């Protein structure tokens, strides 16, 4: 019933979109072609364009070589231009991703990094890499980190989103794709030097950004950008639809929490007011000196650690947070020796720091602050060559050396780590009268290197046909070698149709966090004068990479000059999935052994020599297969005024499905449908510009959501022996429809005002809570530490002013 209602809503919206297109088109021909009274003609107005001009822009990400049209690129690519960023009011990379097909964004769903991203059925933002002008700016050691206003778009000339595996070019972790933010140059500023934006919104939202780009001389230019955001966020406990979820919020006033493990009275005081703010900032400095390019990028994100927890099991205070900083410095030198040969030399230093004040305060820390610490760095040197011996053939190749150093996030600490001295701390809750120093925490130091080399060739025997063949080999000192080939065929049977057949493989390097993460707790038995523990998650240094292979077929055809349709289908196979398993009986790293090193039968599980009831670790186990596709329609209409008045309409429908053999045994009875997806999703919207006014209403439709399947959730029956592969009601959540609207008015060539409305229909909906177990969706939040689906924010209105100088 829920699904049919959602589908009906989607159909109704499509009707509104189509009607809007017709009405807007009619209105535009009657509207004045002049800019508003008293306004100057915007300096950045474009000339008369076609739909193919908008969709077929030049990109560099798909081949790491000279620019090529998206239609010729051996990949499925979407580009978001500066013009689109303005019309749609995008303020961060998160805003952009929300509107991209094939992405499922589970907003406000996890205390670790706020949002969870799933692309083509593969969950995790660390499965795609983020670049700024081709330099990696996501975590150097691939921790899972927030994507919000810490990743800017105000400085972007365009954003290139490449779907599919890209390890053949970029090495580790480019499993599901690459997102490359291309910064503006002085020539892209349309005669201006500085662009500044100030924005405010409901529930105490502040966002300011500025970008300066200027040429100091013929061969020297400099660009500087900065952004700051603070969001107090709505108090969800005051929203009627979510009050049941926040039944225990009064615990903040009493300090007594009725946790899932029993009553807990805090020792460290809590603030009585609900507060779960988030903040982010970023700064960029780039300089071009002849053929040299230098860049500095630093960002920070701070999110609440109570997100997605029920209020009796976490403290909703502003000092309970996780903070992350990434600092990247890079230098490159590019030289074109002649029309056939070019060379680029790059050096990158990247560093990740967890804010030492980061802490959890939840049921797993006894409702007391449990501090965390983590650090990671990468030093990278890369040499890339381009060679075109004949017009029909281009070659790109290169070699890479990377050196990594990491201290992965570990157990809960009693106090913040003092980074000015030796990295040391005491485990939370282990101090007592007989052991006033407590138990020292482990900090694992992980040092490793990677050497890689790649070669790719693109051959165009005729103008309508292109072949791409490439491969990359990496040798990692932690887990050995990885070979990743790539093949692409691009055929244009006519000027209006492009067909692409693609194959690629990739690998996800086991981040130190996944290999060495450890968490749990010790308790002290005073009567026996000894420590004990019920549970610990402990490291497995031998964890290996996850590997994937993907085949893809796509077609784009211009039915008429201003209307195109595209269809993309893919199939991916993943192996070596990372699974949590009992240490005993699998890896046996922490079982009791005798003097000869043999496992003691019926012996204890031990960590630091202390008995632990259950020890869990990670191994590479299992496989997954995903398949799906996207159907998209794009419509474009020039409305006069030399092409500055225009209407762009788009609609896409995406489908993803698959199965997972989490146990890796190959038994049909063990295979389940993949979880953490919404098999059906759709997006639609209009970008309408008339004179100095633009408006962009957009719909995100997400069908029935499926949480992660568990092996024990279903059992075969006499009438349906495949019941294990079918998710029951305990593993699904209702879908939703989210409408966002942006409007902008160019008052003069230098001044514009804009309004963004999030959740314009004020819908009450939930996304998959990344930490919730499947049974939570059936039984509700009561009695569980996590919400049964993350409650979402109500309507929010933001207004802003942009000034160009």
Q: Which helix (H) or strand (E) holds 569?
A: strand 563-575
558: left (phi over 0), alpha (psi -120 to 50) or beta: beta
CA dist 549 and 506 (Å) reads 7
Rounded (to 5) percent helix, strand, coil in the chain: 10, 50, 40
Instruction: Give pLDDT, residue 770.
Output: 67
Q: Are 461 and 477 in contact (CB under 8 A)?
A: no
- The contacts of residue 509 (CB under 8 Å, 6+ apart) are 142, 172, 173, 450, 476, 478, 479, 545
Q: Are 500 and 488 in contact (CB under 8 A)?
A: yes
Instruction: Give pLDDT, residue 665.
Output: 79
Instruction: Give pLDDT, residue 573.
Output: 97
CA dist 65 and 536 (Å) reads 48
- The contacts of residue 526 (CB under 8 Å, 6+ apart) are 432, 434
- Average pLDDT, 10 consecutive residues per value, the chain (805 residues): 39 38 35 36 52 88 86 94 96 97 94 92 93 96 93 97 95 95 95 96 98 96 98 95 92 94 94 96 98 97 94 96 97 92 96 96 95 97 95 95 96 95 94 94 96 96 96 96 97 95 96 92 92 95 95 96 96 94 94 94 94 95 95 94 88 96 80 90 97 97 83 40 37 91 97 98 91 47 74 97 96
436: left (phi over 0), alpha (psi -120 to 50) or beta: alpha
Q: Are 578 and 546 in contact (CB under 8 A)?
A: yes
Instruction: Give pLDDT, residue 123.
Output: 92
Q: Is 390 helix (H, G, I), strand (E, B) or coil?
A: strand
DSSP 413-451: BSS---TTS----BBTT---SS-TT--BPP---EEEEEE
Rounded to 5°, angle at Cα 337 from 334 and 338: 125
Render pLDDT for 255-295 as a digit per residue (tens, 0 to 9): 999 999 899 999 999 999 999 999 999 999 999 999 999 99
The sign of the torsion formed by the CA atoms of 416, 417, 421, 426 equals: positive
Q: Are 346 and 381 in contact (CB under 8 A)?
A: yes
Per-residue b/e over 628-654, b at no fewer than 16 CB within 10 Å? bbbbbebbbbbbbbebbbbbbbbbbbb
CA neighbours within 13 Å on the CB side: how many for 497?
7
* CA trace torsion 614, 618, 620, 621 (10° rounding): 40
DSSP 8-state symbol, 640: S
Q: Which helix (H) or strand (E) holds 167?
A: helix 167-170
- The contacts of residue 284 (CB under 8 Å, 6+ apart) are 132, 152, 155, 183, 223, 224, 225, 226, 295, 296, 297
Q: Are 438 and 431 in contact (CB under 8 A)?
A: yes
Instruction: Give pLDDT, residue 717.
Output: 40
Per-residue b/e over 682-705, b at no fewer than 16 CB within 10 Å? bbbbbbbbbbbebbbbbbbbbbbb
Q: Which helix (H) or strand (E) holds 774?
A: helix 774-779
CA distances from 445 to 405, 415, 442 (A): 7, 20, 10
């Amino acid at each position: 019933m829920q699904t049919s209602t959602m589908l009906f809503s989607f159909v109704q919206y499509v009707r509104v979109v189509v009607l809007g297109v017709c009405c807007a088109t009619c209105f535009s021909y009657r509207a004045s072609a002049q800019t508003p009274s008293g306004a100057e003609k915007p300096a950045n107005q474009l000339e008369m364009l076609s739909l193919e001009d908008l969709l077929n822009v030049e990109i560099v990400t798909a081949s790491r070589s000279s620019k090529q049209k998206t239609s010729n690129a051996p990949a499925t690519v979407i580009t978001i231009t500066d013009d689109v960023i303005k019309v749609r009011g995008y303020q961060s990379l998160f805003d952009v991703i929300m509107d991209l097909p094939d992405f499922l964004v589970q907003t406000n769903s996890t205390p670790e990094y706020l949002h969870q991203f799933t692309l083509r059925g593969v969950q995790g933002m660390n499965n795609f890499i983020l670049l700024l002008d081709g330099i990696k700016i996501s975590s150097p050691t691939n921790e899972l980190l927030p994507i919000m206003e810490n990743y800017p778009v105000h400085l972007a000339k365009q954003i290139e989103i490449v779907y599919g595996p890209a390890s053949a070019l970029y090495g580790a972790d480019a499993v599901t794709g690459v997102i490359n933010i291309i910064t503006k140059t002085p020539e892209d500023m349309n005669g201006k030097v500085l662009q500044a934006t100030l924005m405010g919104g409901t529930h105490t939202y502040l966002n300011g950004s500025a970008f300066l780009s200027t040429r100091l001389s013929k061969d020297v230019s400099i660009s500087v950008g900065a952004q700051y955001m603070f969001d107090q966020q709505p108090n969800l406990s005051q929203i009627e639809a979510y009050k049941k979820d926040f039944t225990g919020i009064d615990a903040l006033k009493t300090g007594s929490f009725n946790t899932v493990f029993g009553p807990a009275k805090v020792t460290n005081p809590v603030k009585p007011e609900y507060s779960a703010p988030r903040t982010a900032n970023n700064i960029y400095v780039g300089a071009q000196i002849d053929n040299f390019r230098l860049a500095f990028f630093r960002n920070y994100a701070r999110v609440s650690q109570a997100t997605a927890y029920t209020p009796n099991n976490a403290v909703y205070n502003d000092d309970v947070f996780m903070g992350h900083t990434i600092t990247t410095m890079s230098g490159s030198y590019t030289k074109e020796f002649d029309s056939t040969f070019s060379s680029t030399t790059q050096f990158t230093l990247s560093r990740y720091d967890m804010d030492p004040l980061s802490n959890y305060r939840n049921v797993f820390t006894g409702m007391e602050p449990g501090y965390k610490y983590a650090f990671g760095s990468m030093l990278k040197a890369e040499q890339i060559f381009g060679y075109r011996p004949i017009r029909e053939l281009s070659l790109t190749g290169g070699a890479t050396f990377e050196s990594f150093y990491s201290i992965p996030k570990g157990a809960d600490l009693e106090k913040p780590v003092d980074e000015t001295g030796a990295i040391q701390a005491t485990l939370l809750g282990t101090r007592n009268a007989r052991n006033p120093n407590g138990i020292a925490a482990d900090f694992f130091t992980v040092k490793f290197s990677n050497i890689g080399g790649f070669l790719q060739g693109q051959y165009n025997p005729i103008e309508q046909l292109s072949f791409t063949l490439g491969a990359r080999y990496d040798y990692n000192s932690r887990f050995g070698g990885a070979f990743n080939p790539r093949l692409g065929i691009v055929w244009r049977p006519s000027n209006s149709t492009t067909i692409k057949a693609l194959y690629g493989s990739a690998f996800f390097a086991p981040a130190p966090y996944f290999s060495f993460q450890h968490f749990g707790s010790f308790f002290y038995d005073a009567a026996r004068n000894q420590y004990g523990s019920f549970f610990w998650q402990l490291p497995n240094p031998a964890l290996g990479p996850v590997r994937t292979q993907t085949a893809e077929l796509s077609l784009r055809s211009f039915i008429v000059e201003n209307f195109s349709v595209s269809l993309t289908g893919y199939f991916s196979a993943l192996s070596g999935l990372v699974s949590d398993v009992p240490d005993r009986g699998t890896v046996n790293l922490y079982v009791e052994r005798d003097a000869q090193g043999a496992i003691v039968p019926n012996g204890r599980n031990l960590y630091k020599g202390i008995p632990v009831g259950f020890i869990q670790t990670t191994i590479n186990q299992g496989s997954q297969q995903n398949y799906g596709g996207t159907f998209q329609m794009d419509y474009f209409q020039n409305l006069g005024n030399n092409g500055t008045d225009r209407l762009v309409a788009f609609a896409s429908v995406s489908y993803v499905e698959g199965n997972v053999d989490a146990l890796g045994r190959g038994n049909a009875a063990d295979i389940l449908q993949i979880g953490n997806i919404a098999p059906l999703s759709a997006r639609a919207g209009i970008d309408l510009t008339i004179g100095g006014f633009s408006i962009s209403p957009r719909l995100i439709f997400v069908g029935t959501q499926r949480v992660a399947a568990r092996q024990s959730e279903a059992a075969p029956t006499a009438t349906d022996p495949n019941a294990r592969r079918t998710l029951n009601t305990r593993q699904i959540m209702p879908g939703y429809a989210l409408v966002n609207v942006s409007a902008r008015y160019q008052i003069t060539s230098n001044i514009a005002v804009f309004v963004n409305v999030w959740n314009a229909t004020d819908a009450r909906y939930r996304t998959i809570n990344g930490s919730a177990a499947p049974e939570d969706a059936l039984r509700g939040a009561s009695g569980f530490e996590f919400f049964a689906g993350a409650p979402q924010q109500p309507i929010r209105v933001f207004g802003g002013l942009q000034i160009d100088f």
